[in-house]
Homo-oligomer: A and B are copies of this chain.
Amino acid sequence: MISGKNQVGSQLTANGAKTYKTFDPILNQENPWVFTEASNEEISKATALANKAFPIYQNFSAIERSAFLNTIADEILHLGEALIDVYCMESGLTRGRAEIERGRTIFQLRSFADAILHGQYLEATIDTAQPERLPNPRIDIRKMMIPIGPIVVFGSSNFPFAYSTAGGDTASALAAGCPVIVKSHPMHAGTSEMVAKAVTEAAQKTGMPEGVFSNLNSSGIEVGIQLVNDPLVKAIGFTGSIKGGRAIYDAAAKRPEPIPVFAEMGSVNPVVLLPKALNNESGKWANAISGSITLGTGQFCTNPGLVFGIESDALSEFSDQLASEILKVVPSSMLHPTIHKNYTHNKEKLKGQSHVEVIAENGDTLQANYANQTVLKISSKTFLENKTLHQEVFGPFSMLVTCKDNLELERCLGSMEGQLTGTIIGEVDELEKHKNLIEILRNRVGRIVFNGVPTGVEVCNAMLHGGPYPASTDSRFTAVGVHAIKRWLRPISYQNWPNALLPDALKNENPLKILRLVNSQTTLSPII
């Protein structure tokens, strides 16, 4: 069923010399399939096909692209249990998680399929001529969004479906009208091949041009770097580590023609516990935060890696409760031995810093690749003095920072780099007393949460998944939700263009029946 080959447009090929296997972390053994890394020629062929497909694909109607996206969703579902099997074998994640993530992936595809039909993403803007204006007449000018060109998507390690082959980046780019070349994550090459087959079949069934989609295997960084440097590639989507994302960003910025990189990278997602909430509901929050820390073996980018509170008896009690709650959690497997090794290494590095107390650490001797969940405790003074303690530990890990007072808490938050999320747990009247603290947090995060946990990223219009660097390389865009399509579009103006030859979105008659900004008024009305 799995060939180990690269999907280069409609062809499955394996011309390269380098082979590799994926790994089952639960069985602690290699999976049976042999994957062939994409050769230089296969990479160039994929980008050349995408470049050739681009002028054709960008002119397909929203209805046609929508049908393509919905058919991808159908084809993924048609793969049935076989796909779930491979997902689990390549990730160590549970079948339940696999099914939920598949559902999310299908929902994303259908959300973009639906959104492009409404045409809001086109941002159609029209300023009609004013021939009588003095001293100079105004000429008719109309603006809309068009796709930017072939996109490369790097599959993530921690979302083999939802942020990989046909995940949010691919779905949004295809919706925008951009061909996509996926570089599959080495850990999930089989999952990616199967999903790529679904995408390819959908492309054929719906009459999409050859090269609208390719999926390339890689075992190291070479395939990715060649793709980033290919002049036919016009933007990059990436989900992963700061180190990986920054390397891609740097390579893209050094090109003769620099291109945008949307890398969603690291975050420690600070959670702030305000005094009243601690006094009244510390047990409830210890339970919720413990669940958020250990969800998916802590392998979420929104994992709460730092919890702040002001020194008090209630905070001490919370500390005990969190330790107790987290030790109740049954350890589970990480995605891969390398990820497990990094988890242990990074955790030990933090444990080894001065003035660090371990308040909970699962002490069981575990099966290979399973993670011992851990919570450390430090003072705000230690946090402020030691930047090593600001680093993300990817896994079921968190650190409680006890602050001397509110000012010290503000200083801690103010010392932090950009974050995907910031969370405040408190009572409503407490928030009003902490406006400065909220302001400090707001200017550092992409999403600010009240009385909740940061894990769980809703796919909707109002979601911002991203944030100031290093949470992402471009804080002005979201990686999740319908507005993720904005990453792959650029505006163009048509000046004095004949109505009949304008794109439908800009024609006087408004044939697409979309909301447009006409002479500064938002309207559905045609121009008479």
Contact = CB atoms under 8 A, between A and B. Distances in A.
A462 interface: yes
A483 B477 CA distance: 16
Given A446-B492, A450-B496, A492-B445, A517 B461 contact: yes
A389 B517 CA distance: 40
A456 B141 CA distance: 12
Interface in A462-495: 462-464, 466, 468-470, 473-478, 483, 489-495
How many copies of this kind of chain does the complex include? 2
Given A478-B491, A496-B451, A500-B428, A143 B258 contact: no
A86 interface: no
A257 interface: yes
A500 B429 CA distance: 10
Interface string A380-420: 00000000000000000000000000000000000001100
Interface string A98-142: 000000000000000000001010000111000000001011011
Contacts of A494: 447-448, 450
A449 interface: yes
A428 B498 CA distance: 7
A128 B408 CA distance: 35
Determine which residue in A446, A451, A478, A491 has the highest number of CB atoms from chain B within 10 A of its CB, and name it: A491
A520 B461 contact: yes
The contact size tier of chain A is 35 or more
A462 B136 CA distance: 17
B260 A474 contact: yes
B493 A463 contact: yes
B462 A126 contact: yes
Nearest to A495: B449
B476 A260 contact: yes
Given A428-B498, A474-B260, A515-B522, A55 B449 contact: no
A57 to B, nearest CB: 12
A139 B452 CA distance: 9
A143 B478 CA distance: 11
Nearest to A141: B462
B496 A143 contact: no
A55 B260 contact: no
B492 A55 contact: no
Nearest to A499: B428
A478 B144 CA distance: 12
Contacts of A118: 520
Contact of A148 (B452, B466, B475, B515): B475
Contacts of A439: 55, 59
Given A249-B258, A439-B55, A448-B492, A462 B501 contact: no
Interface of A: 54-55, 59, 118, 120, 125-127, 136, 138-139, 141-143, 146, 148-149, 249-250, 253-254, 257-258, 260, 417-418, 428, 431-432, 438-439, 442-443, 445-452, 456, 458, 460-464, 466, 468-470, 473-478, 483, 489-498, 500-501, 515, 517, 520, 522
9 contacts: A125-B483, A139-B452, A146-B443, A249-B258, A447-B494, A448-B492, A448-B493, A461-B517, A477-B491
Given A253-B254, A258-B469, 13 more contacts: A55-B443, A59-B439, A138-B460, A143-B463, A257-B418, A431-B498, A432-B501, A447-B492, A448-B494, A461-B517, A462-B493, A464-B492, A468-B490
